[in-house]
A and B are shown apart, each in its own frame.
Chain A
Amino acid sequence: MSEYFSNIVSGLKSFTKGLQLTMQHFNNRKKLVATLQYPHEKWPIPERNIGFELEEYNVIRSRLEVDIEDCIGCLKCERACPVDCIKIETIKPPKGGDFDCGVTTNGTQKKMLVPRFSIDMTECMFCNLCVFPCPEECIYMVGGPNSSKHEIEYEFAARERSPLIFEFAVATEKEIIAAGGIDYLNKKKGIVPDEKPKEVKSTLKKTEPKLNFEAVNAFTDRMTRALAKKAFTAGARAGSDAATVATQVKSALVDADKFLPEYESIIENIASSPLMTSAGPTTELKAKPASGPDIKLLNSITDKMVRGTAKKAFMAAKRAGKDGAGISDDIKKALTDAGKLTDEVIAILKSFSVPGNSEVSNESSVASAPDIKKLNSIEDKMVRGLAKKSFMAAKRAKSSAADTVAHILKDLKEADKLTADLEDIVKSIVPDTVDATPAPKTEFNLDIKKLNSIEDKMVRGLAKKSFMAAKRAKNSAADTVTNILNDLKEADKLTPDLEIIVKSIAPDTVAATQAPKTEFNLDIKKLNLIEDKMIRGMAKKAFMAAKRAASTPEETVAQIEAVLKENDKLIDEVQTTVKSLLENES
């Protein structure tokens, strides 16, 4: 009975308690309501401090963005996409045509026109996998390290699907046609040309003599050129004579609002030059590289940016129909404008202006006996380049071996670079001196690996560099060592320890160093007793350095201690551990 009443009492208590709780919430609703009236109110975009710098860690993935002007159409992102939301189509301009796809901001020459680059963000799962493979870093997630480039879209929502399919390609129809993508355009528009006429066309192309675009190529503007070419091709195909074709080209340009007064001379040129090249396609191909200096010469420019600018200027000048000297002038001008003109480039450009040096004859290479590789022993890069260049010039001129040597020496003298050593090297390229060179080669048996015991990366690199230079110059062992030492001294890196190491590479000291090496039988494992990770690492590093330097046990211990002392880590316990290296040996 009492349980019955106590039940009722406790029931009433919990009854009131429950009612109090809900009433509290009802009364304090202004404080407690947690709902965010979403379309009217929005949470602020949270601060992204997760312990990383934003630059290092892309935490916000708002959407994909493509800098299409940097896209080279490599399709790597399309392949990387796990859900196939990236669709790219490319057009490769025909070889030998002069449609210029442009240069990326990294200086890469684009080889494809990208008429379609669409990303369906409704399919994208924001995995970021397409971002990593991009060689030009032109596809990226908005936000994170790129937060400055684009606003992060808060909702990134749309009422239908179409606004979420992003089309990044900006290639216009004219550009596509200019890049030879007429078939692509027709396909896209649903105009599928009949199979048969296509075949006839292709066979016709083969038999027809090629159109002579030389005069038309004088247009410097890409768009204008493409337009002119189109009109030119149409006119020529229709069987008109040169004069009418020229007027057609002119009217086409006027129609497109692209005609400038200075084009008048080009139009006249078109009217006066033959429509077709007289020779067949094969001869044309051969003739083309012969018409001016070779662009490949520019490849010897080391700086990427400079090379790119130079090449661009080269192509422009070539299109304008300039000769070697004109081209080099143009390049010089372009480079000075860009503030990139260096002596190196001037030297390369000089070879342009020499008439006839661009006429490559394949036969001469067989006939010329001197070996260009011998010039590799020239240490100075610049000098080596110069020497090689004049070597090639001489070769092209089909000079005899003796003449070649004289030519190189002359060029070097002109450049004020000729030393006695150089003279020897240059003279060695003549075939009859060939016997002399292999002999020192076999003698050169210094071991570069010994330099590995140099601890400092920078110093090691320097030493190895001068080692290689010496090797190329086929110096004797002693010379090599002094060379390296000199180089290190110049760089202010020479310490007594280094000197010992460098000297050890000479063969006659090998025997001396090898002996202590076998003696070096300290056990590195003893250092494991050091508790602190940092100290242990330091000690072990010093141990290994000492081992590499083939130090004696006492020296090793002293070195380790010195390293630790430098870093203020030499505690008593550590010291005893280090010393124990010696004890056990005894």
Chain B
Amino acid sequence: MSGFWQATMDLITSYGSLISLAGLAIFGVMAVNALVAVYFERKVSAFMQDRLGPMEVGIFGFKGGRKFWGGIGQTLADALKLLTKEDVLPDKSDKALMILSPFIIFVGAFVTFVGVPFSSYLLISRFDIGIFFILAMSSVGVVGIILAGWGSNNKWSLYGSLRSAAQIISYEIPAGLSILLVVITAGTLSIHGIVEWQAEHRWFIFHSPFAFIAFFIYFISGVAETNRTPFDIPEAESELVAGWMTEFSGFRWALFFLSEYANMLIISLLASVVFLGGWLSPMAMFDIFPESWMIMDGALWGMFWLLLKAIILIFVMMWFRWTFPRLRVDQLMYLCWKVLLPFSLVNLVAVSIWELLF
């Protein structure tokens, strides 16, 4: 045992500065993502509902556009407000779990970023089992959610957390099966291996009709895993106040928020990498462009293409959220077990045969 601790300490001392640098980078990405995405989400929702959203708060006297995209400092102000709020722990709650659970959820999202690439070069670690790692780590959050619900000692919170657990565990299956198609086809769990396969052949979404369907199955499951509307039954304002987040306030609640938007980014990035060609430029997909244009495939351009794809997917998630009403619990389970799961199973078999035939 002492050998294990010794090895860990050695690792930290030798790679400490590197690890903390990577950690700070991930945290920076998560924080900026949350700031931008919350603002983006509020604007999108406002425009879809014929409103304007935040328009007044600015940074350094700059409010943003006067007509539509104003109020760019709103999320920053809200974040500052959250950080200065009182940290309330209910009397009868399990205080240890209440304090612990936000960090478990946060760590779940945080660690997932270790395997998520921003371009072919810009990533923390290049695993051979990248996809597997991402799928595994993004499920850690469920533990935090259950602890949060239980620790709150509140019926609504417990209800919400159990719904959330059931939902995430259920939707892991079609999501995993959809990604399995890619793994089977590309023959690797490595993210780079999958993108390289797409560079050689074509984007996986255009691999076959079944892969096309698989993308949508994965994306819908991904939305469900982030507990966003129309799959937000764990929060369900009208039924459960705020679900498992009810009893949380201040900084610990801010961590939930941060994790939710980080999960959105993870799901979108993964979908882009696996199905939409990752950091490959869309122009490389077609042969009609002259060779000289292919400079758009460099390292920074790669990040641009990947983030563009992710942002479009995030926008689609928001689009879903402000379009559809919440599913009932039974409808949610029906969709997962009776629609998405059979289709992904059929997909799996069909893509296997497709690979044999072509």
Contacts and interface: CB of A to CB of B under 8 A. Distances in A.
Interface of A: 4, 8, 15, 18-19, 21-23, 25-26, 29-30, 32-35, 37
Contact of B68 (A18, A25, A30): A30
B323 A26 contact: no
B47 A25 contact: yes
Contacts of B67: 30
Interface string B31-69: 000000000000010011111100100000000000110
A222 B10 CA distance: 101
A108 B51 CA distance: 58
B324 interface: yes
B324 A26 contact: no
B133 interface: no
30 contacts: A4-B338, A15-B324, A18-B323, A18-B324, A19-B320, A19-B323, A21-B323, A22-B319, A22-B322, A22-B323, A23-B319, A25-B49, A26-B47, A26-B48, A26-B319, A29-B47, A29-B50, A29-B68, A30-B67, A30-B68, A32-B50, A33-B47, A33-B50, A33-B68, A34-B50, A34-B51, A35-B50, A35-B51, A35-B52, A37-B52
B339 interface: yes
Contact of A19 (B49, B52, B68, B319): B319
A119 B310 CA distance: 62
A505 to B, nearest CB: 79
B48 A25 contact: yes
Interface of B: 44, 47-52, 55, 67-68, 319-320, 322-324, 338-339
Contacts of A34: 50-51
A380 B69 CA distance: 86
Contacts of B49: 25
A37 B47 contact: no
Those 5 A-B pairs whose CB atoms lie nearest each other, nearest first: A29-B47, A35-B52, A22-B323, A22-B48, A32-B50
B141 to A, nearest CB: 27
A26 B52 CA distance: 11
Nearest to A39: B56
A33 B51 CA distance: 5
Contacts of A4: 338
Contacts of B44: 26
B322 A8 contact: no
Contacts of B322: 22
A25 B43 CA distance: 12
Nearest to B52: A35
B344 to A, nearest CB: 14
Contact of B55 (A19, A23, A26, A37): A37
Contacts of B52: 33, 35, 37
Nearest to A18: B323
A30 B51 CA distance: 10
Given A22-B323, A34-B51, 14 more contacts: A4-B338, A15-B324, A19-B320, A22-B319, A23-B319, A25-B49, A26-B48, A29-B50, A29-B68, A33-B50, A33-B51, A33-B68, A35-B52, A37-B55
- State the main secondary structure of chain B at its contact with A: loop
A144 B313 CA distance: 57
Q: Which of B47, B68, B322 has the most CB of A within 10 A?
A: B47
Contacts of B339: 8
A391 to B, nearest CB: 84
Contacts of A22: 48, 319, 322-323
A42 to B, nearest CB: 15
Contacts of A8: 339
B201 to A, nearest CB: 28
Nearest to B50: A32
A8 B334 CA distance: 11
A37 B320 CA distance: 28
A235 B185 CA distance: 118
A382 to B, nearest CB: 77
A38 to B, nearest CB: 10
B324 A25 contact: no
Q: Which of A18, A29, A32 has the most CB of B within 10 A?
A: A29
Contacts of B320: 19
B172 to A, nearest CB: 22
A33 B47 CA distance: 7
A26 B50 CA distance: 8
Nearest to B47: A29
Q: Which of A4, A8, A26 has the most CB of B within 10 A?
A: A26
A26 B323 CA distance: 11
A160 B67 CA distance: 31
Contacts of A35: 50-52
A281 to B, nearest CB: 73
Contacts of A23: 48, 319
A4 B322 CA distance: 27
Q: Which of B44, B320, B323 has the most CB of A within 10 A?
A: B323
Nearest to A14: B324
A19 B323 CA distance: 6
Contacts of B68: 29-30, 33
Contacts of B50: 25, 29, 32-35
Contacts of B324: 15, 18
A121 B141 CA distance: 56
A19 B48 CA distance: 10
A217 B357 CA distance: 126
A22 B51 CA distance: 13
Nearest to A21: B323
Nearest to B51: A35
A33 B65 CA distance: 15
A37 B323 CA distance: 25
B68 to A, nearest CB: 7
A19 B319 CA distance: 7
Nearest to A36: B52
A415 B52 CA distance: 86
Contacts of A21: 323
Nearest to B343: A8
Q: Which of B48, B55, B319, B338 has the most CB of A within 10 A?
A: B48
A21 B320 CA distance: 11
Contacts of A33: 47, 50-52, 68
B244 to A, nearest CB: 28
A30 B68 CA distance: 8
B19 to A, nearest CB: 42
A8 to B, nearest CB: 6
A14 to B, nearest CB: 9
A455 B88 CA distance: 88
A35 B67 CA distance: 11
Nearest to B48: A22
Nearest to B67: A30
B125 to A, nearest CB: 37
A81 B67 CA distance: 45
B342 to A, nearest CB: 9
A4 B335 CA distance: 11
